[in-house]
Chain A
Amino acid sequence: DAGVTQSPTHLIKTRGQQVTLRCSPKSGHDTVSWYQQALGQGPQFIFQYYEEEERQRGNFPDRFSGHQFPNYSSELNVNALLLGDSALYLCASSFPGTDTEAFFGQGTRLTVV
């Protein structure tokens, strides 16, 4: 079982650019959540996808958008990057209704310069 896999592991982008991060959930999981973790902070919830629909959203601007594919994998897109978007982006997968047992990937470290 490969667990939750994220790509790429590291990324450097310039202000104003757009970025796409990818996540493959743990086998058997159909719910994917995305989090942003700034240095020295806990993960902040961005949004959650289930059955290819955004089910819940945290307090993040519309520059952050996502998608879930029929195979349950997911993408996080961030437009018009700001320096403050530099963070570790985490993907977590779970069965519906069991987010208390969410499994996290290793994250994508995004640096905006």
Chain B
Amino acid sequence: QKEVEQDPGPLSVPEGAIVSLNCTYSNSAFQYFMWYRQYSRKGPELLMYTYSSGNKEDGRFTAQVDKSSKYISLFIRDSQPSDSATYLCAMGAGGSYIPTFGRGTSLIVHP
């Protein structure tokens, strides 16, 4: 079993939809959680990071962490075609600044 599991998709949604992207993890030592967006042939771009359980909002993006269930989510409201990309979750243990990445979920938002 991998430390971080993420469904590769692809996830195809119409423009304007609410998108839910998810990751599960097995390592109880993970204390910080991040979401990256990666466009084709580009490097990952940090979208959000959080250290605690609960929700964190930034514009159209909301990151949710449930440490008791070892489950994290990224919600995208009012999705746009420009949101079409691969979304990577990443997480790390306290004291270790090297995150472990999921394999990424490919998102396609069609007009």
- Is A104 interfacial (CB-CB < 8 Å)? yes
**B43 near A101: Cβ-Cβ < 8 Å:** no
Contact with B along A73-110 (1 / 0, CB 8 A): 00000000000000000101010011111111111010
Q: How many residues of A contact B (CB 8 A)?
A: 26
B89-109 interface bits toward A, Cβ cutoff 8 Å, 1 = contact, 0 = none: 010100011111111100000
Assess the B43–A100 pair: CB atoms within 8 A. Answer: no
- Within 8 Å of chain B (Cβ to Cβ): is A70? no
> Which B residues between 60 and 111 are near A, CB-CB below 8 angstroms?
88, 90, 92, 96-104
Which residues of A approach B to under 8 Å, CB–CB? 4, 33, 40-45, 48, 56, 58, 90, 92, 94, 97-107, 109
Closest 9 CB pairs of A and B: A42-B101, A99-B97, A104-B43, A42-B103, A106-B43, A104-B44, A100-B49, A43-B101, A45-B98
